[in-house]
């Protein structure tokens, strides 16, 4: 199991100020985890999905669409006029 704080840091590190597909963010996060020797499982996907929802819910990320539908949603780092809490 990967600590939540590590997943959060990884997700945020591959996000940008412009919109990116959630699938891209998740894919890049998987690649980083694999290079660190972490085996990707269904549980990993569920953890990443849950942490993405928390980051959006706490306004550390902005979202468009249903973020649980990775191919049809996008996220970005918050705009300067809406700081994260």
pLDDT 10s digits, 3-62: 999 999 999 999 999 999 999 999 999 999 999 999 999 899 899 999 999 999 999 999
Whole-prediction pTM: 0.87
Instruction: Give domain status of residue 55, yes or no.
Output: yes
Per the structure, the complete domain to which residue 23 belongs is given by 4-76
Tally of domains within the chain: 1
* 41 against 84, higher pLDDT: 41
Instruction: Give domain status of residue 83, yes or no.
Output: no
Q: What is the pLDDT of residue 1?
A: 74
CATH code of 11's domain: 1.10.10
CA distance 75 to 64: 6
Confidence band for 77, pLDDT divided at 50, 70 and 90: very high
**Quick count: other Cβ atoms within 10 Å of Cβ 84?**
12
Contacts of 57-66 with C-beta under 8 Å, sequence gap 24+, read 58/84, 58/85, 59/84, 59/85, 60/8, 60/12, 60/84, 60/85, 61/11, 61/12, 61/15, 63/22, 64/19
Dihedral of CA 61/65/68/69: which sign? negative
């Amino acid at each position: 199991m990967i600590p939540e704080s590590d997943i959060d840091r990884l997700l945020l590190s591959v996000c940008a100020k412009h919109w990116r597909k959630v699938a891209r963010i998740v894919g890049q996060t998987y690649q980083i985890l694999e290079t660190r020797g972490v085996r990707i499982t269904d549980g990993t996907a569920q953890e990443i999905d849950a942490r993405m929802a928390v980051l959006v819910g706490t306004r550390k990320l902005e979202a468009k669409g249903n973020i649980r539908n990775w191919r049809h949603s996008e996220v970005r780092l918050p705009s300067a006029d809406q700081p994260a809490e």
